[in-house]
Structure 1
């Protein structure tokens, strides 16, 4: 039997799965397709990491490792929903919940070095690098784009006198200090720190590299970072704008929490000068955010004094951008609350504003310390000041082909990122002692190395040519000739492009700033441009442009053609929406939009039809695409408030439209006959189904857990329509 693996993840996508998965299983069973689940949630990954220490009835299989191996095979067909890339506060909360549920787990802070290493392997971007054994093809499906043009989302007005701007270092950061080499042959490298006395500390040994692999090394200098941040705090106050910092403390789980800590200290210099030692002794680190410090002050004998100092500096400094002004949660409270690829497009969409402490929107100084990609946002902001907001009814699209296979570039740097503790030199050395790259370092500097293998680069170039050919759209490789890594990639792109038929195609190379400018000029003319980017810009661009075009990145089609022939189908780029969970718990209303799941499932079925020679799966896929278009046209996507259609109602309508399409199609008479009574029953009972789904709204619900909800309780909450359930379950 053909098989699709549907992943169980976290927060809103997981809740939606309890509603949508039974529909998927029922419909696909008619085509002989077996849908299996694998738990790659944060809690599941924690339990898998400690499986050897748990009793038999609590052991959890390592589903992520299993799927990582499956992704390397031609049989792979995986639908991957958004998951939590855990920061330390999220990891702490998940551990505490599991402990309360009876799992004997150590806390993160008190864990042994061995156990802490297990936790470190779980936090941050633990999932995507394992599953992504291919490069990324992300685009807005035509039905979604057409819907956005007919039903445009709100866009805030821009004016030329907006004081919003981007601040970035430009020197002594990762971009400016980068060095890069292309390995002439396979071997092993060693990363070592040589102090001023000549003593050598091995930071990473036996780092395997392949012939043709691009290896980079760089450092962000702590002293320069601190000086830059101090200047930006002063500048925000001088300009009278909100101060905000935009990092990626989830995916960049080693470097960015440290940078975030520098920001907290730069905003509260007097507090840390007076009480930094007390906070450190209590384990209250700025790397975990201001919120964790405030939460721990009650346990300190001078906690009230520290709190007064913090309050005084917050009052004296520039106004902070807020995550939740009603609850006093600032931009600096939690490192995972403000993620650059989502926060910057949201700010640009909202007139360049973020929310201030007074609950009102205001111009903002957006601080992005490393300058590698900050220019992309600065270019878009400058364009909005000059030309006004973009028009979703006419604007073009920027699909993306992203280099990400086999932990490419920065997102694979975690095991090679170090906070330096003594002055000296960090060197990347071959097995025979040749120093390939070297940086002078001082205590506190953040040094990292990255790898990008040759096979993914070749595949990336091939995928870019394929997409340009299929879509008839110009493609730009976003590569910066002034950056060491990108110079090497330019060499390889120019080497591999002639291997493909590019006759008649418009394929060019430009720096990210220049590529952004070209793309937004074309956007304003209603023209499309493929952005062919590295791993981080893949993430950034597939939030930036979809949020401007469609109002959300969750509506993107995200396909990963795996290099060995399988398929990975990701459901958008919008994160896992913790605020949606809060609303469900408080009001029994889930506004999560499963459009990404609908799109991914159709692509998965289409892939399965080809790979497993299953023509009925292709019929299901075609009908699902048509049903999704109807769903959008009829306005049956989730709304936002109690009393309106929510995620569960959207699933019910999708099931009806899908069944009607299958009953009406003429390619498979047996399938049409099977779905005719289903379509009839769903239509006849639509009023009853709607009443049952709407009737439960407006009341608090209990899920039995946040990170690991109780299955029975959550299923009852997410499947409240007995009428719908009976029709769907009968089909199975």
Structure 2
């Protein structure tokens, strides 16, 4: 029997799983496919990290490690739903909830005072940020909008804010003394084992990484950001935003880049609240309130202090005297600087561009914005799109082309694989990467507080990436552009490989180019305005940025993309979309029992997964059902009392059964035709039961670790529907 692993994750996707998974398992049985689950939620990963310290009754399997091993085999068939990439505030909240439930977990240590603290911090740090994706992504990414989704978006266009030629919105980025400008890169001719060390000005030597193994053909980059120049840059941008009368916002990746970007976020908070930290900084920093966890953590942390009122007054003064801050939630007073995980660049920048290039101010109105993206590696792509909209107006979803993506991410490729090689330097000196022969391969002169990082890109990952790009270009007869900048050290090394590996493939008749990101963006937006498609072939971080930027403009969301990851060993990983708005969805469930999460991504990933499992007829029926689902507009409404996620699952199920009943596969048709008849006959009853469940508060028994029975009851409220599904 073929087996699919359906991941159990967090927030809205997790709630949707409680509704959808029983349907999936029931239908899959008809094609002799087993659908099993593995818990890779934040809570599950936390508990797994402490298995050796927890009582036996509280121990859980390390599902992520298990799936990481599976992903390296040809048998892998994994459906990956969005999970929390936890910032420290989220991590602490999850720990507190688990402790309240009786799990004997230690607190997250803000300060390291013992070896035990060091061990606990290391375990928790391994869980936070992008802990899941690098483990599972043992292949490169093929992400695109399916034809049915694109056609639906054209026929039912989402709203786009109007752009003014007078818009003052812009991107601000360093351009010097940052990661992009300080980068050095080398490709190894043979396998080696490296040491990363820091030599201080007084000669003291500290080993930062004792052993870093590299393979033949592997690219290694090293770079650093000068925090002195960062602070100068931030002060200038705060002044600029004030003078221009625009909102000040910062956009980082403080979950994926879980070492560097929280540090940068802390610099932003301290720069904006400069007078507060000038007066109270020593006291705040000593208490661990350095801004890296956001203004919200500072405000919470000072509660009960003797000088709390003075500090709050200083914060209010900085807010009054500084530029207006972009707001995450104007009604609740949550600013762009409150929580680092609220300002994820790949979600927040496209949303701003879609909304007339504006963000929300404290009064709940939209306003032009200075979007601060400190590192200049990819900031230019957003400026190009902003300039294009300022000149030509908003894009038209009814006519615009599409920009699918082929992304290099296998084997922790590029920046997202830098976590264990990123360091905040305690003193000035030189950071060196040294090979086994004692030769210095890469080096940088650094100052105290600078952020230094290295990242790796393996040769077989690059080779597969080029192959996937050519395959996708050939299959769709679409121009493909490698977004690589020959003036950037890492990209220059990649370009050498791309040019060699392209020669291994038949590219006759294909339009394949290599352009720097800004030029590639300009070409892509020029073409989408003409209704033309262009494949973006990018590295790992740009993969993340582009697969939110273009889908949000084209479709209104990135959750409706099909994301297929052909694993290097021959298995398949099927990802289901973005989860950036998931916390708000959960809040609505808790308050009024309405889940507006759209499971379209799950539907599309499931079809690909079923086909990979050999259940072609069932997959075909699901794709037919999904197209009908879109055409008949059965996606969830945002408003309680109307169709929600559970109702959309019912309609998809009915359409799926009806499509299967008409299948050329006689065995499948015989199994599901009676189900289709029952669902059609009971549609009105089922709809009534689903709608009647809405309107009142719902008890899930938790947020990070819900009560399974309570959540099943909330997410499967139709007894009639449940009886039909459970009888299959």
TM norm structure 2 = 0.99
Distance 2:437 2:204 in 1: 19
C-alpha distance after superposition, 1:274-308 (max 9, x if no partner): 10111122222200000000011113221111011
Distance 1:574 1:518 in 2: 29
Shift of 1:162: 0.3
Distance 1:496 1:665 in 2: 42
Distance 1:511 1:146 in 2: 30
Q: 1:643 aligns with which of 641, 644, 649?
A: 641
Distance 1:265 1:576 in 2: 27
Listed as ranges, the matches of 1:436-455 within 5 Å are 436-455=441-460
Distance 2:213 2:159 in 1: 49
Say which SS state the counterpart of residue 609 (structure 2) adopts. helix
Q: 2:587 aligns with which of 582, 588, 594?
A: 582
Distance 1:577 1:702 in 2: 17
Q: Is 2:308 the counterpart of 1:303?
A: yes
Partner of 1:612: none
Shift of 1:198: 1.8
Answer whether contact 1:620 1:662 (CA < 8 A) is retained.
yes
Q: Is 2:155 the counterpart of 1:158?
A: no
C-alpha distance after superposition, 1:607-658 (max 9, x if no partner): 111xxxxxxx100100100100101110100010011100000000000000
Distance 1:14 1:376 in 2: 33
Listed as ranges, the matches of 1:110-149 within 5 Å are 112-149=117-154
Distance 2:304 2:182 in 1: 42
Partner of 1:613: none
Partner of 1:595: 600
Partner of 1:67: 67
Distance 2:552 2:303 in 1: 41
Comparing 432-441 with 532-541, greater Cα deviation is found at 432-441
Answer whether contact 1:425 1:441 (CA < 8 A) is retained.
yes
Shift of 1:433: 1.1
Partner of 1:672: 669
Q: Is 2:523 the counterpart of 1:518?
A: yes
Say which SS state the counterpart of residue 692 (structure 1) adopts. helix
Q: Is 2:352 the counterpart of 1:347?
A: yes
Partner of 2:685: 688
Distance 2:203 2:93 in 1: 43
Partner of 1:244: 249
C-alpha distance after superposition, 1:62-102 (max 9, x if no partner): 00000000000000000000000000000000000000000
Listed as ranges, the matches of 1:74-113 within 5 Å are 74-109=74-109, 112-113=117-118
Q: Where does the alignment leave 5 or more consecutive residues of structure 1 unmatched?
A: 610-616
Shift of 1:677: 1.1
Distance 2:643 2:677 in 1: 21
Shift of 1:675: 1.1
Listed as ranges, the matches of 1:697-712 within 5 Å are 697-712=694-709
Say which SS state the counterpart of residue 219 (structure 1) adopts. strand
Distance 1:444 1:500 in 2: 46
Distance 1:299 1:275 in 2: 15
C-alpha distance after superposition, 1:164-223 (max 9, x if no partner): 000000000000000000011101011110111222110001100001000000000000
Distance 1:296 1:138 in 2: 42
Distance 1:77 1:156 in 2: 40
Answer whether contact 1:215 1:450 (CA < 8 A) is retained.
yes
Shift of 1:576: 6.1
Answer whether contact 1:138 1:400 (CA < 8 A) is retained.
yes
Partner of 1:729: 726
Listed as ranges, the matches of 1:585-624 within 5 Å are 585-609=590-614, 617-624=615-622
Q: 2:375 aligns with which of 370, 375, 383?
A: 370
Listed as ranges, the matches of 1:335-414 within 5 Å are 335-414=340-419
Q: Is 2:297 the counterpart of 1:292?
A: yes
Say which SS state the counterpart of residue 304 (structure 1) adopts. helix
Distance 2:193 2:578 in 1: 35
Answer whether contact 1:323 1:330 (CA < 8 A) is retained.
yes
Answer whether contact 1:297 1:304 (CA < 8 A) is retained.
no
Listed as ranges, the matches of 1:146-225 within 5 Å are 146-225=151-230
Distance 1:567 1:217 in 2: 32
Answer whether contact 1:165 1:364 (CA < 8 A) is retained.
yes
Distance 2:581 2:610 in 1: 24
Distance 2:630 2:263 in 1: 43
C-alpha distance after superposition, 1:376-395 (max 9, x if no partner): 00000000000000000000
Shift of 1:112: 1.2
Distance 1:683 1:637 in 2: 18
Partner of 1:20: 20
Shift of 1:109: 2.1
Distance 1:565 1:387 in 2: 45
Q: Where does the alignment leave 5 or more consecutive residues of structure 2 unmatched?
A: 111-115
Partner of 2:491: 486
Moved runs in structure 1, 4+ residues, more than 4 A?
none
Answer whether contact 2:270 2:290 (CA < 8 A) is retained.
no
Comparing 103-112 with 12-21, greater Cα deviation is found at 103-112
